[in-house]
Every structure is written in C-alpha cells, then in structure tokens.
C-alpha cells in the first residue's frame, strides 16, 4: 500500500512542476512581441545580444509594457539609475522604497540602453562568447551574473522564449553572429563615456580588425575619432564606436591641462568632437597650443 502511494506521488509531482514552469499563452505578450521584435532584432545585429533574450526580458520586466515604469518612463527592463546614469530619472518602489530608475523619451531608447548596459558590463562579458542561438545559456548566464534576484529568473525567460517561439528571431542574424563569435573569441570590452561606446585599443589592433569586429566601416571609425586615414593605432588608444557629442556631460564642465595632453586627447577623454572643443575655447587647430595647468571648457 505504501509503495503504491509513492508511485502515485511521482507523476503528481511532475505535473505540478510542469505547471509551475509552464508559460501560458497571453495575447498581450503576443501583441508586445509584434510591436517590438524589429527593435530587438536591430539591437541583436548591433550589439550581439539574442533578440529572444531581449524580448523575453522586456516582456518579463515590463509586464508586456503594462508596468508603471514602462507606461510612464518607457523603462522596459527595470534598469536602475546607477552611478554612471546622467539622463532623466524616476522614483519607484522595488526592493526598497523610492529607488531611482532610468527614464527614457522613447521605448527604443530603453532597448538601446539595455543593450549597452549588457555590452559594457564586465560581469556580462562572458555571455558574448556563447553561441548566439544559445538562449538557455544566455538566460542562465544573466541569472548567474546577478541581473535579477529571482531564483527562477532563468527558467521564466526560457519559458517565455519557448512558449512564444522567440528563438525564431535569433535566426535572422544567426549565421553572421556565429561567424562573429568564432572570429572574436576574445572580444574587446566596450565602455561608456558621455553615453558613448568606446574600446581601448590593444597591441596589434588595426582599423580593419576593429571594423570587422564591430561591423562599422573603417571610414566611419576614423571620422568618429577625429583621426586621419594613415593613423596607426597604438595600444591604449581610445576608439569610439559612435559619433562623439558636441560637448561633455553635465558632470564635466572644465578640464585642467596636464603634461603631455593635447586637444585631441582631451576630446577623446570626454567624448567631444574635436572641432567643437576648439570652437568652445575660441581656439584654432593650426595656431593654438596648450599650456600645462590652463583650463579647457568642455561644455
């Protein structure tokens, strides 16, 4: 009799476990996917994050766009302010009362910031060495890296991806992404300055190799960094992957010149286009010189 009870409990346990992990169909989820899948695919092609993961996180974190943060602040990923954030903010109760969260002008900005957040975070760097179609590896890696405190976070992401077949959106760039992973087993770690992506050049880097890794033309890279075609990259050079801004962020107003610095090195330090740095300081490239301890305006 006791043996029969044990046998009967096993399938019951399996059924309960399946029901707990299963993701039931939700029309609002389907509507959200149709609305934002193209943005997720764009971010995948630019930042090498599976579209399935981006969509699943957006769905889970925003309640398919219905959360207070999503509706009033366009924050679809629950990203908190952090020390580096200089954009608009909003207070919201989460793990504690009145925590600071990022606020965006458009939903697309939230998606791009989410991609930058993952791409520039050191603790997420190992994820970019996974097969781009390995959504399970990404989901478990995000949990392991501490993206969320929920112990079931990885399983919930996987459940959403499989229920709504989000993995189909990873296939669009799968061939290119797989090639990227194979050709870049040790990819550069991007950083943020003035809300712009940049990397630090390593020994042996060329415009061609960086262009290939980040799928940005050599011509654009050279222009973004205010350099010339024949310039040979040196180890330690700052290389921007986006067009620099016309001024520094709000926390940097002036810069005190140090020995060995140039207008170009200062423009790279703060993510400012060189021509605007000259213009702000009423200087001309061909006649102006820098003196140590002088001050340079940054905005």
Does the pLDDT of residue 10 top 50, yes or no? no
Strand partners, 66: none
Range 222-242 average pLDDT:
94
Does the pLDDT of residue 29 top 90, yes or no? yes
Separation between Cα atoms, residue 79 and residue 148, nearest integer Å: 10
The helix-helix angle for 174-183 and 207-214 (nearest 10°) equals 140
pLDDT of residue 179: 64
Encode pLDDT of 100-145 as tens digits.
999 999 999 999 999 988 988 888 888 888 877 899 999 999 998 8
First to last CA, the chain: 82
Separation between Cα atoms, residue 101 and residue 96, nearest integer Å: 12
Separation between Cα atoms, residue 64 and residue 164, nearest integer Å: 13
Question: Which residue intervals of the chain bear CATH 3.10.350.10?
Answer: 191-240
State the CATH architecture for 21-76+108-183: Orthogonal Bundle (1.10)
CATH code reported for the domain at 254-297:
3.10.350
Separation between Cα atoms, residue 15 and residue 47, nearest integer Å: 39
Average pLDDT value over all residues in the chain: 85
Structure tokens at 130: 């996974």
Q: For 80, which DSSP code? A: B
pTM over 0.75: no
Looking at CATH, the fold of the domain delimited by 191-240 is given as Membrane-bound Lytic Murein Transglycosylase D; Chain A (3.10.350)
DSSP string computed for 100-117: EEE--SSHHHHHHHHHHH
Encode pLDDT of 252-269 as tens digits.
999 999 998 999 999 999
Separation between Cα atoms, residue 130 and residue 137, nearest integer Å: 7
């Amino acid at each position: 009799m006791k043996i029969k009870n044990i046998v009967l409990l096993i399938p019951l346990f399996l059924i309960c476990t399946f029901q707990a992990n299963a993701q039931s169909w939700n029309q609002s989820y389907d509507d959200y996917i149709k609305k934002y899948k193209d943005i997720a695919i764009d971010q995948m092609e630019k930042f090498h994050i599976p579209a399935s993961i981006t969509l699943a996180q957006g769905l889970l974190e925003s309640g398919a766009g219905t959360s207070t943060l999503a509706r009033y602040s366009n924050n679809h990923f629950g990203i908190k302010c952090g020390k580096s954030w200089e954009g608009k903010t909003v207070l919201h109760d989460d793990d504690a009362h009145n925590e600071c969260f990022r606020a965006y002008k458009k939903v697309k900005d939230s998606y791009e910031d989410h991609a930058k957040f993952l791409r520039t975070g050191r603790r997420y760097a190992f994820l970019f060495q996974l097969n781009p179609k390995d959504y399970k590896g990404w989901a478990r890696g995000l949990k392991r890296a501490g993206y969320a405190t929920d112990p079931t976070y990885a399983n919930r992401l996987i459940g959403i991806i499989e229920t709504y077949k989000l993995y189909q959106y990873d296939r669009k760039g799968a061939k290119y992404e797989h090639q990227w992973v194979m050709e870049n087993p040790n990819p550069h770690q991007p950083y943020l300055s003035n809300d712009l992506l940049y990397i630090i050049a390593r020994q042996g880097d060329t415009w061609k190799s960086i262009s290939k890794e980040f799928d940005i033309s050599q011509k654009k890279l050279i222009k973004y960094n205010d350099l010339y075609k024949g310039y040979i990259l040196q180890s330690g050079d700052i290389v921007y992957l986006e067009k620099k801004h016309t001024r520094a962020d709000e926390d940097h107003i002036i810069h005190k010149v140090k020995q060995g610095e140039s207008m170009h090195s200062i423009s790279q330090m703060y993510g400012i286009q060189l021509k605007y740095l000259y213009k702000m300081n009423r200087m001309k490239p061909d006649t102006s010189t820098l003196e140590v301890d002088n001050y340079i305006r940054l905005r």
